[in-house]
Amino acid sequence: MPAVVALVDDLMFVSRIREAARGHGLEVRTVRRIPELLEACREHGRLVVLDLDTPRLPVLEALSALRAEPALSGLPVVGFFSHVHAERGRLARAAGCTHALPRSAFVEELHALLAAAAQADPPG
């Protein structure tokens, strides 16, 4: 089944993403480490979601690893952050994040992002 791969430790957002994804025929795979992220993306990834605010997960390193792998380099990545941490969004875009959005914009655009992911071809 096509998947959204989430490097997110905010359980509220994981639940929100999971519920919305189900409506688009997508499953959500949450990961905590870079090797898990890459493996999940290789298997069924259609969209990667990153919590840019979390200090507990290697978010920017994961983004770099994803972009360094040729078969996964074109996979859409959306990161979200608190509006008071706009610099994190800028850094993520510079590192190859397709969309870096404040949390409120992420919530507003979630269904459109998931709809696009559901229609996307598999990586590679």
Q: How far apart are CA 34 and CA 21, in angstroms?
A: 22
CB–CB of 40/5 below 8 Å? yes
Token pair, residue 53, equals 């605010």
CB–CB of 94/73 below 8 Å? no
**Sequence ranges of the domains in the chain:** 3-119
Token pair, residue 65, equals 């690893």
In this prediction the pTM is: 0.95
Mean pLDDT computed over 2-8: 95
pLDDT 10s digits, 13-53:
999 999 999 999 999 999 999 999 999 999 999 999 999 99
Q: Say which DSSP state 121 is in.
A: P
Q: How many C-alpha atoms does 24 have within 13 Å on its Cβ side?
A: 24
CATH topology of domain 3-119: Rossmann fold (3.40.50)
